[in-house]
A and B are shown apart, each in its own frame.
Chain A
Amino acid sequence: MWRDASLYSRGFFVGRKFTRAGRQLFCVIYFLACYGAVQAAAAVPRQTPGFKRAMKVVTDETGRRVAIPFSVQRIVTLAPDLTETVYALGLEGKLAADTTFCDTPAAAKLKPHIGSPQTPSLEAIVAMHPDLVLATTSINRPETVDALLRLGISVYTSDPHTVRGMLDSIARMADLMGANEQGVGLVAQLQARLDAVHSRIAELPLVHVLFVVWEDPLITIGQNTFIADALRWAGAESVIVADQNYPQVSMEEIVRLQPEYILFTGNHAESNDDHELSRLRTRPAWKALKAIQMGHIVQVDDEITKPSPGLVGAIEQIARELHPGVFSSDGRGESIELQGGVTAEIFANMLWERERDFCAL
């Protein structure tokens, strides 16, 4: 097949007297095509029509200037933490749709879905007639937000990097959704719980921990993530200092640093601490960690992975586990729901992306 090219084909259709004329014809056709393209570009109207509604212009947390209606009746969330915030504010009646990842609270699973946070269907979002779409930098892609804004849909993007940033973000979003009072109330209540934790552990030294995002390869958190900040609120500090958000670190480094506690998220949901511990004790490098030998491992609530109101519960849990001395007296233990699944999914997704980067090259 490869060598079939025929010898009669020298010149453009010599037999049919098409040689020079053929090339000239092509030139004319290009010319017309280019002219047509330019004309079409000039002739057709450009922008999509805006909503004829009262709008206010706000600057979101990524610096985009966006117009948002004064009265927000239909909300679409693009991330599980945003869904949780909407529920915590008592605005579930206005939530038109969320993502396939949203499972907290359980009722969120019953809402219509517009796809996963990273590859939502823009059409499905349009079909929901949203007044406001909430996005977050922690899982959504900026391309999604830009595309929605192009369509004239109001999008507010939150960008929390700290626990306080999360609280501010909640207050701002509550205000945009017309729930200023609920927002202020929720933030005050969460802040009070944080202060209560802080007052107990403020005098204690920080506990050095390893926060395990993924076990093999070992991926942990960087210092700029809200998880690192949440750990500080809980009186702990990651032994790894890195500028990347989710750095991959070598086991040797961990053995050298010898963290006092190892924190896992609930993505090993089915196993309990003891089971986890016995499993890790059989693994060569992990065996060498003093924290493993002493049984210092903590399964942290999944909520730690989301900058949402549930994060405060996770902070309380970590603080109790790492500083049993100051918390033992009162036996106050808010029941913390464990939701398996979402963390595994987020981190699996993240990891899959990393892997894919390398495969795709």
Chain B
Amino acid sequence: MRPLTPQRILGICALLCGVLFAVCVVSLRMGAYPISVRDILSTLFNAAAGRREEIPVEFWQVVFGLRLPRIALGILVGASLSTAGAGFQALLRNPLADPYVLGVSSGAALGAIVSLIVAPHTVGAIQIAAFVGAASTIAAVYFLGRRGGQLDSPTLLLAGIVAASFLSAIIMFLLTMVTGSELRSIAFWLMGDLTAPPPTTNVLGWLGFLFFVFIVAAGAMYTTSSDLNLILTGEQEAKHLGVNVNRVKFVVYIAASVLTGLAVSVSGAIGYVGLLVPHVMRMLFGTDYRMLIPTAAIGGAIAIVLADTLARTVVAPTELPVGAMTALAGAPVFIYLMRRRMR
């Protein structure tokens, strides 16, 4: 096995970034409103040069008002979910773990529903309430999941699953109280939805803030990546080799939960990406977490941008929920990779 070098990691990440860029250009090009690649490029160029007045109003609306924010949000959500998935899979030492396994999405959903009942039609209320719900769940599961003052993987997993089912039960009870139009909002939110407008008019500031949180959380997780490799071979072994297992677990738990909470609060529970993208990246580039975390982040971004592009275009002018598209388009790819690996 070739040793992993920084050059190799950077090279592969650069390659994946190239793929992501290509996917973004394709995504910018596709949609119900017809724009040629030339028009897109000239719009981007004019915007970069500060010549707003030369851009037709509709191009501005479609490119900067609709498609770019959506792509940026997709990148953010995909990268967050996929990184969180990789983190939870190592933390729980369970290949079935996904970002929602510890009940974060149920907590966020509960927050969202409460906000729809208490303050319907308030822009931004869903996102904030969802994040509060996710954060409370993270804290509750953390305290339930400790044994002898330390995070214990099986206990944590059980605590998370129990919390998820308990919260789901509360959600079902509350759903019977919600009336028509709120029910519609919450249904789309639960399916995963990138179309909801951001809570502020300063879209760039909002996206910048989200990316900032992502970079901090994913970076924190990355600092533990070499320790995660050892923990995956066994906690005792890692301890004997000098890894501070508790600290690593704490950092990964908080970072992965924050990433999940972030993604869920802006886009609802988009399934599948957080579970499968880390596995796909393991199959393609190996199981070393120093490689896996960055590739999973970029791979998750690619997956969501692709899925959202398909969701926008397959049955145009109607749009499909992106959550449906991730599974529909992702499952065959995953099965192909899995079977190929077995041969």
- Report if A and B associate in a common complex: yes
A contact residues vs B (CB 8 Å cutoff): 1-13, 15-16, 18, 22-23, 26, 30, 33-34, 37-38, 40-41, 44-49, 51, 62, 100, 113-116, 118-124, 126-127, 129, 137-139, 141-144, 146-147, 150-153, 222, 224, 243-248, 350, 353-354, 356-358, 360-361
Contacts A4-B286, A138-B181, A151-B65; A40 near B204 (Cβ below 8 A)? yes
A346 to chain B, nearest CB (A): 11
User: In the complex, which of the residues A38, A51, A150, A245 has the most CB atoms of chain B within 10 Å of its own CB atom?
Assistant: A150
Q: Are A127 and B186 neighbours in the complex by a CB distance under 8 Å?
A: no
> What distance in Å separates the Cβ of A68 from its nearest Cβ neighbour in chain B?
17
User: In the bound complex, do residue B183 and residue A354 qualify as a contact, i.e. CB atoms below 8 Å apart?
Assistant: yes
Q: How far is the CA of A122 from the CA of B33 in the complex (A)?
A: 9
Interface centre among B64, B181, B185, B228 (most CB of A within 10 A): B181
Choice from A5, A47, A138, A153 contacting B233 with Cβ under 8 Å: A5
Determine if B317 and A143 form an interchain contact, defined as CB atoms under 8 angstroms apart.
Answer: no
CA distance A4 to B181 in the complex (A): 50
A-B contact pairs, 11 of them (CB 8 A): A10-B241, A16-B5, A26-B222, A33-B215, A48-B57, A122-B66, A122-B195, A123-B31, A138-B181, A147-B196, A245-B179
Q: How far is the CA of A91 from the CA of B176 in the complex (A)?
A: 40
Residue B52 lies at the interface, judged by CB distance under 8 Å to chain A: yes
CB within 8 A of A9: which of B168, B183, B193, B226?
B226
User: Given A46-B202, A118-B184, do A30 and B216 touch, yes or no (CB 8 Å)?
Assistant: yes
Tell me, rounded to whole Å, the shortest Cβ–Cβ distance linking A312 to chain B. Answer: 22
Judge whether B269 is part of the interface by a CB distance below 8 angstroms: yes
- B178 proximity list for chain A (CB < 8 A): 244
A127-B32 in contact (CB<8A): yes
Of B205-213, B253-261, B297-305, the one touching chain A:
B205-213
Rounded to whole angstroms, the CA-CA distance of A48 and B63 in the bound complex is 11
Which of B109, B242, B318 has the most C-beta atoms of chain A within 10 angstroms of its own C-beta? B318
CB-CB under 8 A for A119 and B181, given A5-B288, A47-B201, A126-B33:
no
Within the complex, what minimum Cβ distance (angstroms) separates A181 from chain B?
32
Asked if B208 contacts A41 (CB within 8 A), the reply is: yes
- Contact A141 B185, beta carbon cutoff 8 Å: yes
**Cβ-defined contact, A361 with B212, below 8 A:** no
- Residue B118 CB within 8 A of the other chain: no
| B152 beta carbon closer than 8 Å to chain A | no
| A16 neighbours in B (Cβ, 8 Å) | 5-6
Q: Is A126 in contact with B58, judged by CB distance below 8 angstroms?
A: yes
B190 in contact with A357 (CB, 8 Å): yes
Q: How far apart are the CA atoms of A8 and B193 in the complex, in Å?
A: 42
Determine the residue in chain A with the shortest Cβ distance to B223: A23
Which chain B residues numbered 267 to 290 have a C-beta less than 8 Å away from chain A?
A: 269, 282-283, 286-290
Residues of B within 8 A of A3 (CB): 232-233
| Proximity string of chain B (223-260) to chain A, C-beta cutoff 8 Å, 1 when within and 0 when not | 10011111011000000011100000000000000000
Please name the residue on chain A nearest to B123 by beta carbon.
Answer: A146
How distant is the Cα of A358 from the Cα of B286 in the complex, in angstroms?
37
B40 located at the interface, meaning its Cβ lies under 8 Å from any Cβ of chain A in the complex: no
8 A Cβ contacts from B133-185 to A:
168, 171-172, 175-181, 183-185
Residue-wise, chain B 296-323 has the 8 Å CB interface mask toward A (1 for contact) of 0000000000000000100011111101
Q: Are B62 and A143 in contact (CB under 8 A)?
A: no
Contact A10 B187 (CB under 8 A): no
Q: Which residues of A contact B47 (CB under 8 A)?
A: 44
* Partner among A115, A139, A152 whose Cβ is within 8 Å of the Cβ of B319: A115
For residue B95, CB closer than 8 A to chain A, the reply is yes
Cβ–Cβ < 8 Å partners of A13 in chain B:
4-6
Once bound together, how far apart are the Cα atoms of A291 and B1, in whole Å? 79
Please measure, in the bound complex, the distance between the C-alpha atom of A51 and the C-alpha atom of B233, giving whole angstroms.
62
| A353 to chain B: closest residue by CB | B187
- Decide: A41 and B232 in contact? CB cutoff 8 A: no
Q: Is the CB–CB distance between A121 and B316 below 8 Å?
A: yes
Q: Are B195 and A143 closer than 8 Å at their CB atoms?
A: yes
In the complex, chain A residues whose CB is within 8 Å of the CB of B171: 361
Q: Do residues B290 and A9 form an inter-chain contact, with CB atoms below 8 A?
A: yes
A121's partner among B211, B317, B323 (CB-CB below 8 A) is B317
Contacts of A38 in B (CB 8 A): 208, 212
Complex: how many Å from CA A38 to CA B204? 9
How far apart sit A116 and B216, CA to CA, in the bound complex (Å)? Answer: 40
The yes or no answer to B25 lying at the interface (CB within 8 A) is: no
Question: Is there contact, CB below 8 Å, between B232 and A2?
Answer: yes
Residue of A nearest to B291 (CB): A9
Known: A4-B286, A5-B289, A118-B184. A151 touches B61 (CB 8 A): yes
Closest B residue, CB atoms, query A360: B190
A21 to B33, CA, bound (A): 49
Which residues from chain B contact A47 at a C-beta distance below 8 Å? 201
Distance between Cα atoms of A121 and B64 in the complex (Å):
16
Taken residue by residue from 187 to 205, chain B's Cβ proximity to chain A (1 for < 8 Å, 0 otherwise) reads as 1101101011100011111
The 7 nearest A-B residue pairs measured at CB = A37-B208, A123-B33, A124-B32, A360-B190, A121-B317, A115-B317, A115-B318
The reply on B106 being an interface residue by CB < 8 A is yes
Contact A119 B319 (CB under 8 A): yes
B4, A46: Cβ atoms under 8 Å? Answer: no
Question: Nearest CB to that of A129 among chain B residues?
Answer: B58
Q: For residue B180, give the distance in angstroms from its CB to the closest CB of chain A.
A: 4
> Contact: A18 with B233, CB < 8 Å?
no
Chain B residues 81 to 138 lying within 8 A of chain A, measured CB to CB, are: 95, 106, 109, 121, 123
Q: Is the CB of B219 within 8 A of A143?
A: no
Complex Cα gap A46–B65 (Å): 10
Distance, CA A2 to CA B318, complexed state (A): 41
CA distance A119 to B191 in the complex (A): 13
Report the separation of the CA atoms of residues A248 and B179 in the bound assembly, to the nearest whole angstrom. Answer: 12
* In contact, A361 and B168 (Cβ under 8 angstroms): yes
Contact call A41/B204, Cβ cutoff below 8 A: yes
Query: Measured between alpha carbons, how far is A354 from B183 in the docked complex, in Å?
Result: 8
Most interface-central of B62, B219, B317, B318 (chain A CB within 10 A): B317
Which residues of chain A have C-beta atoms less than 8 A from B229's C-beta?
Answer: 5-7, 9-10
Q: Considering the chains assembled together, what is the distance between the CA atoms of A12 and B312 in angstroms?
A: 42
Check A361–B202 contact: CB distance below 8 A: no
Given contacts A6-B1, A143-B197, A245-B179, is CB(A357)–CB(B187) below 8 Å?
yes
A353 and B205 contact, CB distance less than 8 A: no
The residue among B95, B195, B286 with the most chain A CB atoms within 10 A of its own CB is B195
CA distance A125 to B208 in the complex (A): 28
Give A288 to B172 CA distance when docked, in angstroms: 31
